[in-house]
Amino acid sequence: MKVLQSRQFAKAVKKLHSSQKSDLDEAVHLLIGDPMIGDSKAGDLAGVRVYKFKMAQQFNLLAYSYENEFLTLTLLTIGSHENFYRDLKQLL
């Protein structure tokens, strides 16, 4: 499976501490194993899935898209719940 990341996702990862990055790595490995574990969104965010996980004792959301034909997982953005969906709409 090919894993891609958006520019916004890469910027957010650069700002994380090493312990946070290890939590994020675990979440990404779970998504690679089963890309359908995230919640599918509707409306403006159709085609996007969001996975909620714990990173450094705080819940975070990871937005991604999955193309079954090409076996491609695209990591879009990561963040806390505050303004997450608003920022995600602007990204798309």
Secondary structure E strands in 1-92: 2-5, 39-40, 49-55, 58-67, 72-79
pLDDT, tens digit (0-9, with 9 covering 90-100), for 1-49: 889 999 999 999 999 999 999 999 999 999 999 999 999 999 889 989 9
Q: Which of 2, 92, 1 is nearest to 49 (CA)?
A: 92
State pTM to two decimals: 0.87
